[in-house]
Structure formats: C-alpha cells, structure tokens
Structure 1
Amino acid sequence: MNAVLYTVTVFIWGSTWLAIAFQLGDTPVVVSVGWRFAIASIVLLVLLRIRNALPQLSIENHKMAGLLALCLFSNNFLFFYAATEYLPSGLNAVVFSLAPIFNSINLWILEKRRPSSAFIQGALTGFIGVVLLFSSQFLSADMDITIFLGLGLSFMGTYFFSMGNIVSARAQKQEMPLLPTTAWSMGYGALYLLIIALVMDLPLAIPETPTYLSALIYLAIIGSVIGFNTYLALVGRIGAAKAAYCTVLFPLVALSLSTLFEGYEWTWLSAAGVILVFSGNMRVFGFHEPIVRWCRSYSS
C-alpha cells in the first residue's frame, strides 16, 4: 500500500507544477490559491458526508487544522505560485525537492534531533546542486533581481511545506482523522486567503478560459483532494521524514513537463545541478548504503 501511495503522490504532484504555471496571468495569486482550496474542501466535505464519515472535531482538533491550513494549504502555495512567475515550473519543483532537508532542520530545532554527518554532507551537496541549476542565470549578462526573488519565494514555500509536514505528523499521532482534518484545513486555508483578497480589494472573479479552468479543477481535485491525502496518509504511515522521499522524484516529472511545454533549455551545468540535488537527498536518506554494500561484496 505504501508503494501505491508513494507512486500516486509522485506523479500527481510532479505534474501540478505545470498546472500552476497555466494559472498565472491577470488573476492574483491569492485568489487562484483561495479558489483551489475552497473547491477542494467543498468536494472533500461532500464526499465524506455522503459516506457518513465526517465526525465532529474537538476545539483542539480545529486549532490543529487551522495551523495546518496556514502551513500547508495557504502560505506555502502563495510563495510557490509567486515563484513560478519568475522561475520555470520544473526548477521550482527542484527547489521543493529540498523539503526533506528542511524537515531535518525543523526536527533538529523543534525536537532536538541532531542531524548526522550524512545529513550535513547531503544538505551541502543539494545546496551546491541548486546553485549549479541557476548558474546560467547567475552568469547571464542580462540577469536581474528576479532570479533571486524567485529562489527566495520558492525556498519560503518549501519551508512552510516542511512545517506542515511536522504539524500533520503530530496531528495523526494524536489520532486526528486524516480526511476530515484535511477537509477542514483546506477550508480554513481558503477562507484565510479569500479574506486577504477582500482586504486587498482584489476581485474574486476568475477567468473562464479553458486553460485556467482546467488547471483549477486539476489542482483542486487531483492535486489537492487526491494528492494531499495520499501524501498525508504516507506521513501518518511512515513518518514525515520518510514520506518526504517522494519530493526527490517530483523534479523528474516536473522538469520533463517543463521541457515539453515551457521550453526549458538544459545545459551541462543544470544537468549536473539536478544530479547533485538528487545525490544530496540520497545521501541524507542513506539511499547510497545498499549500493556501497553491493560494491563491497562484489569487490570482495
């Protein structure tokens, strides 16, 4: 079952980055994200009601759902959507693949779990990989501040996502029901975003173009209702750190789609950067150890 959840999450979230890019334009980011989670919350709540699987949550549970909304269903996506205005969606996904490293840092700060030397080596390798990925922009004569702005926004989105992982893991340890908690969290996230839009006097209307509407429905139903629940189910089954393994594979899907639909151009430096990002994550999680043992046994 874990393998199924893992595979579904990788392919769904690997493709959502391109759908996010299709939503960019005249519609404010806060409005697009707000409607995405409003639709997702309504659909999930209706499905749970039909199945008679919508228990009443306690006040403490709703507080936890509100905290999860701020981390996982609002602020993180504000940063991710905004970053996609300055970065190809595939590169945004590569930065997001550093989420396991953010998880380890947050667990170190919050739960005093000191990282190992393997983590430090992997984190440095991954960071160098990100620098190489954007090296062509750094070296470009016409480079401007937007590349740094896009990187900063993407890093902030990844940080909020990481905090959401930890909140969700704690909620599930307290035996909060996964689907109802997710449904309410998405609703709270949508309410928070739409209130921001109203305060900023932004129009809540959305474009009626086929591209925008199809991206919105895909992100709300496939990316949110299905994608988030498969991922959070993994968090509950195997823990936040191991569940974040799948973020390492998102860029493979996202960069492939970005190359096909956004005209992303590869260089030898960007290819080396992707390899280093993957290698860094593999080092953090010990993926290299079976290979090392196999090589030692073969050589002996």
Structure 2
Amino acid sequence: MPNALLYAIATLIWGSTWLAITFQYGSVPASASVAYRFLLAGLLLLGWCKLRGERLQLSRTEMAWSALQGALMFGVSYMLVYEAEKHIASGLMAVLNSSMVVINLVGMSLVFGRRMDQKSILGAALGILGIALVFWPELTDVRTASAWLGVACGLGAALLASLGNLVAQHNRNQQIPLLPSIGYGMLVGGGIALIFTLIHHQGLVFDTRPSYLASLLYLSIFGSVLAFAAYLTLLGRIGAAKSGYIAVAVPIVALLLSGWFEGFQWRIWTVAGIACAVAGNIIMLLDIAPVLRKLGLTRLAARLV
C-alpha cells in the first residue's frame, strides 16, 4: 500500500475520532472506556492475525517490547488524553498533541542518531504554528489551576505517545511481527486502563445506548485497528519523525468535521493556521527541491534536501 494512502487513512480516521470520543462521555469512567476500546481492538486484531495465519507466538523479548509499546501508546497516554479533556477544550488538546512532531524529531536524533535536517525542522515549526493559530482563542484561555492541570496531562500524553513511537521504531527495526505486536500491545494498554479503573473503585460501568456502542465499535475497529496498523506501517517505512507529522494533520480534519457537525466558527486565524499546517505537510512529506530550483531558489533547495 502506498505511503500516501497509509498517511491518508490514519489522518482521516483519527481526525474523526475526536467526534466519536464525545459519545463516550457520560456514565462510563474515561479509563473504563479506554479499557473497553483497546481490549476489544486487541482481540479483534489478534483474531484477524490468526485467520491470516500470521505468527502469534512471540519470544519473551519480543513480547516485552510489544508490551512496552502498548503501555505507552495505548494505555497511559490515552488515559491522560481523556483526563486532559475534562479540564481543557479538545482543540487545545489537539495543539498539545501536535508537540509530538518536535518530540519525535528530538527522540529520533537522541535514540537512533538521525540528524534533524532543516527540512524537517521547518515543516514541524510551520505545522505547530498552524495548529496554534487555528486554536489561538483556546490557547489564550488557560488561566485556572484546572486548565493548567489539563495542559500538564495533555503534554504528558504527547510525551508518552512519542516514547511509544520510539519503541515502535525499535520494534520495526528488530522486525517484530507488526500486527501481532500491535494486538498484544493493545491488550496490555487496555489491561492497564482496566486495572486503573478497578484500583480507583470507579466501577466497570457499561453504557448500552446505541450512540455509545456505535462509538466504541468505531473507535475500536477504525480508530484503533485500522488507523494504528496504517500509522505503524508508515512509521516503519519513513521513521517516527515524518510519520509523527500526522499529529498536525489530524486536528485540521477534526476542525473541518467540527465545522460541519458542531458549528465551529471560522476566523482569519483559522485560515492562516490551516495554510501554515498544509505548507508544513508539503515540506515534510514531499520533495519540493525541484520546484524551488525551477523558481531560482537553489540555495533554499539545497538546505531542504
């Protein structure tokens, strides 16, 4: 499957999960919803792997790395996301989540020795600037202790997710079977959320409303199995730095959906922010050096190679 299609699948699905998550709020504790989502997703994915005849038996080392990836990427980070959205707007959470782009760049440099080229730095900077402009009103509204707690949880979620990306990169480098490792990781992440729910005596409440059941199935099958399979396949091909740029594209999709379904009000900042984010996407993912040379910008083209 082409990289562009993998990128589009992950971006479009995750961009829609912001709306789906809103149907999860209510009588079910957030950690329980995270547990249900990833336990179901893990079982479905491992069942699919068995039908395909993939190797499900991993070595102890492979299982340990898969579990670590799951704990970081599917467990604790998602619980922090749900906690953050109790205190801050989802738009601000999107801004905080986009910091993964920079964290991934730094992490890939420190852990795997990949240099931070000017093209990646410029693309990341434009992307984060674009998201910040889009959600500028929410950024200026962080004043209370509760809001700052939400910011701390959001940044913590982005940091843990980025660490999960680095572990995923390691797992791909070690050629650990992709889909089985994701499946086991989801079971571990869901198990952590389940244990957290029980320890805090929140109760394993389940919501049987059609809206909750539909959102759970969508988040499990599309938001977890399909999107993460596409994303982690892309990560194995182009690295955590470039694939992590999806964190910038996702809020733009979420914004468009919010405009259609939630009446989001567009402003000049919105248009400017989207323009910056799109420019960052183009710089990060496409080879623009030939275009710059044709425009006579040979020095800039040389820097962005």
TM-score, structure 2 normalization? 0.84
What is residue 206 of structure 2 aligned with on the other side? 206
In 2, distance between residues paired with 1:171 and 1:73? 15
Deviations 1:60-92 (A, max 9, x none): 011101110121111121122223334444553
CA contact (8 A) 2:128 2:248 kept: no
What is residue 54 of structure 2 aligned with on the other side? 53
Deviations 1:209-243 (A, max 9, x none): 11111111100111111111111111122322232
In 2, distance between residues paired with 1:195 and 1:275? 43
Counterpart code for 2:38: F
CA contact (8 A) 1:79 1:153 kept: yes
In 2, distance between residues paired with 1:286 and 1:50? 37
Q: Structure 2 vs 1, CA of residues 40 and 160 (structure 1 numbering), >3 Å: closer, same or farther?
A: same
> Where do 5+ consecutive residues of structure 1 fail to align?
none
Q: Structure 2 vs 1, CA of residues 283 and 102 (structure 1 numbering), >3 Å: closer, same or farther?
A: farther
Shift of 1:162: 1.6
CA contact (8 A) 2:101 2:124 kept: no
Determine whether 1:230 maps to 2:230: yes
Q: Structure 2 vs 1, CA of residues 227 and 286 (structure 1 numbering), >3 Å: closer, same or farther?
A: closer
What is residue 190 of structure 1 aligned with on the other side? 190
What is residue 179 of structure 1 aligned with on the other side? 179
Q: Secondary structure at the match of 1:296?
A: coil
CA contact (8 A) 1:95 1:130 kept: no
What is residue 22 of structure 1 aligned with on the other side? 23
TM-score, structure 1 normalization? 0.86
Task: Supply the RMSD in Å over aligned alpha carbons.
Answer: 2.8
In 2, distance between residues paired with 1:52 and 1:139? 52
Identity %: 35
What is residue 256 of structure 1 aligned with on the other side? 256
What is residue 43 of structure 1 aligned with on the other side? 44
> Where do 5+ consecutive residues of structure 2 fail to align?
298-305
Q: Secondary structure at the match of 1:249?
A: helix
Deviations 1:119-156 (A, max 9, x none): 5555555554454444324556x964454444433332
What is residue 100 of structure 1 aligned with on the other side? 101
Deviates more, 1:83-92 or 1:157-166: 83-92
Shift of 1:291: 4.3
In 1, distance between residues paired with 2:149 and 2:291? 38
Deviations 1:89-122 (A, max 9, x none): 4553344344322210112332344434455555
Q: How many residues align?
A: 297
Deviations 1:170-193 (A, max 9, x none): 111111101111111111111111
In 1, distance between residues paired with 2:5 and 2:130? 29
What is residue 218 of structure 1 aligned with on the other side? 218
Counterpart code for 2:70: A
Deviates more, 1:47-56 or 1:32-41: 47-56
